[in-house]
Structure 1
Amino acid sequence: MNDRQDSVPPQGDPMIDFEAAFDDTPFRWKDYAAEDFVTLIVFWALILVVFAQFFSRYVLGDSIGWTEEIARYLLIVVGFLGSAMAARNGSHILVEFFYHYMPSWQARLLERLMGLVSLAFFVAMAWVTYQLAGRTSSLMVSVDLPKSLLYYTVCTAFVLMALRTLQRLYVTYRTPRDAT
């Protein structure tokens, strides 16, 4: 039996948490960046392609050939552009457990170190995908588009992630120690 009170989940109305997700905060353009809108457009294109695939296969009885491949590539693009959004917001997956038990100066140092490691990774992956795109000369199977287009898009997403991480590091270094 555990006698600690904080290990017991809070009892209450689950609808309170559900309704909190639908708060009426006003829409502000400055909360979003270009990659958010591009990702939204690509996501809607993905929805339309998957719907066309579903409709043609199950309603018309004859599947459109190019929809499966294009849906796969659009999903890849949404994933990588979404990672650029996460880099801007600082919401990439990380283990926050240790931050709670460290002194603030140590947590800040670790945050900066992880930002630098992430930046190095994004730059390295941008270089690798750029090299891969330059060496890829094949076309997509169902559409006469070069596969390098996909790799250049992933490279662009890695460059965006690196730039957004650099931006976050700049803000972190510029912020005085007492602000944390």
Structure 2
Amino acid sequence: MNNSRENSPPIGDPMVDFESAFEDAPFKLSDYRLEDFVTLTLFWALILVVFAQFFSRYVLGSSIGWTEEIARYLLIGVGFFGSIMAARNGSHIMVEFFYHYMPGWQARLLEHLVNLISLSFYIAMAWIAYQLASRTNSLMVSVDLPKSIIYFTVCAAFTLMALRTVQRLYLKYLGRSL
């Protein structure tokens, strides 16, 4: 028998795709943009705040009051700034099933339509978040900061998602990658 055939995974094995996701690519600093570093900073701030909350509650026996609210807002920031990264890379969640069974021209037309709808959504949500931020005058519960900071952050994230989507589509039109 052919020994190499027995050791190779069967065709269509889901583990092949799973393992290929963990292949190491060389690190290049030029692959990262400003929003990547902002997201990383917010993420580490979230880790530190949650650790402070855990430590104060379970080790010291007295919870720090502001940590829960700040952790919630940092998580919002991580989610929205992570979405900017996904918009830049074109990696937002989508259903690819239909694209495989369509003719090429239909798949391209649907892709353009989805990109246009996404761009419209980002612009509309940026406008709504701006309107909400402009009307919010209350302060956060545990910290004396205006709640509008959160809404302006969301507005900025949607604006940057729209700009990164336009940039990605423009570079794709030119035949280059981001």
Helix, strand or coil: the match of 2:24? coil
Q: How does 1:60-99 map to 2 (within 5 A)?
A: 60-99=60-99
Q: Structure 2 CA distance, aligned partners of 1:70 and 1:165? A: 30
Q: Residue in 1 aligned with 2:100?
A: 100
TM-score (norm 1): 0.86
Secondary structure at the aligned position of 1:24 is classed as coil
Name the SS of the counterpart of 1:110 in structure 2: helix
Q: 2 CA distance for matches of 1:114 and 1:24?
A: 31
Q: Of residues 6, 10, 14 in structure 1, which corresponds to 2:13?
A: 10
**What is the Cα deviation at residue 21 of structure 1?**
4.4
Q: Aligned pair in 2 of structure 1 residues 92, 125: CA closer, same or farther (>3 Å)?
A: same
RMSD over equivalenced CA pairs, Å: 2.0
5+ residue gaps, structure 2, are 1-10
Post-superposition offset of 1:103:
1.4
Change (3 A) 1:52 1:128: same
- Give the aligned length: 166
Q: C-alpha distance in 2, partners of 1:18/1:138?
A: 47
Cα separation, partners in 2 of 1:65 and 1:90, compared to 1, 3 Å: same
1 CA distance for matches of 2:83 and 2:125? 13
Q: How does 1:17-36 map to 2 (within 5 A)?
A: 20-36=20-36
The code of the aligned residue for 2:63 comes to S
The amino acid of 2:67's aligned partner reads: T
Counterpart of 1:162? Answer: 162
Distance in 2, matches of 1:166 and 1:153, equals: 20
Corresponding residue number in structure 2 for 1:53: 53
Alpha-carbon distance in structure 2 between the residues aligned to 1:21 and 1:97: 20
Cα displacement (A) at 1:134:
0.5
1:50-99 alpha-carbon deviations (Å, 9 max, x no partner)? 00000000000000000000000000010010111110111101110111
Which residue type is aligned with residue 40 of structure 1?
Answer: L
Decide whether the 8 Å contact of 1:49 with 1:71 is kept in 2. yes
CA distance in 1, matches of 2:88, 2:52: 33
The runs of 5 or more residues in structure 1 that have no matched partner are: 1-7
Q: Distance in 1 between matches of 2:100 and 2:20?
A: 25
Q: TM-score, normalised by structure 2?
A: 0.87
Following superposition, the deviation at residue 19 of structure 1 comes to 5.6
* Offset at residue 104 of structure 1 (A): 1.4
Code of the aligned partner of 1:171: L
